[in-house]
């Protein structure tokens, strides 16, 4: 499976994440969503209003390793999975206002619209083939 086992975990100012180097998947657990990000950052309507606020250091790690990001979002005793590829993140953060510094700290969050995430991982090219030559699922 793409997310088992995590090879190591790290923490950036309260946001702990796991990284599976062989599948290039970063896994992050979140319990909050930013409901009015689109209005605050004045995004194009196509992005909607809600976003995940993700520590800028984690975003830089995802981009640097060219990984997929899997968010486990917990709300009211339910868990949902949201996937996004590094290239989608890079495209959004370079073209749109999305950074917010948490009050009273030097922690910077990149706010990524929920509308950019998908429910299943998206593969392209060599991402589809594992080291054993089999198609990843």
Q: For 103-121, what is the mean pLDDT?
A: 91
Domain membership of residue 120 (yes or no) is yes
Domain membership of residue 109 (yes or no) is yes
Domain membership of residue 63 (yes or no) is yes
Distance CA 29, CA 35 (A): 17
Structure tokens at 134: 């089999």
Domain membership of residue 133 (yes or no) is no
Give me the pLDDT at residue 106, please.
84
Give me the pLDDT at residue 130, please.
43
Domain membership of residue 26 (yes or no) is yes
Confidence check: pLDDT of 34 > 50: yes
Distance CA 9, CA 78 (A): 23
Boundaries of domain holding 82: 8-128
Domain membership of residue 2 (yes or no) is no
Domain membership of residue 114 (yes or no) is yes
Burial class (CB in 10 A: 0-12, 13-18, 19+), 46: exposed
Q: Could you tell me if 54 and 64 are in contact, meaning their C-beta atoms sit under 8 angstroms apart?
A: no
pTM exceeds cut of 0.75: yes
Total domains, the chain: 1
Q: For 19-26, what is the mean pLDDT?
A: 89
- Write down the mean pLDDT value for the chain: 84
The residue ranking higher by pLDDT, 64 or 12, is 64
Domain membership of residue 136 (yes or no) is no
Over residues 72-103, the pLDDT tens digits come to 999 888 899 999 999 999 999 999 999 999 88
């Amino acid at each position: 499976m793409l997310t088992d086992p995590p090879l190591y975990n790290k923490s950036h100012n309260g946001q702990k994440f796991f990284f599976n180097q062989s599948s290039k998947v970063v896994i992050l657990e979140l319990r909050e969503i930013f409901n009015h990000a689109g209005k605050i950052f004045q995004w194009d309507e196509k992005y909607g209003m809600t976003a995940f606020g993700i520590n800028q250091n984690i975003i830089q790690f995802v981009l640097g390793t060219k990984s997929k990001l899997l968010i486990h979002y917990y709300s009211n005793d339910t868990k949902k999975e949201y996937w996004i590829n590094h290239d989608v993140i890079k495209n959004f953060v370079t073209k749109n206002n999305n950074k917010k510094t948490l009050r009273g700290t030097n922690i910077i969050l990149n706010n990524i619209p929920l509308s950019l995430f998908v429910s299943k991982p998206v593969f392209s090219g060599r991402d589809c083939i594992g080291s054993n030559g089999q198609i990843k699922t």
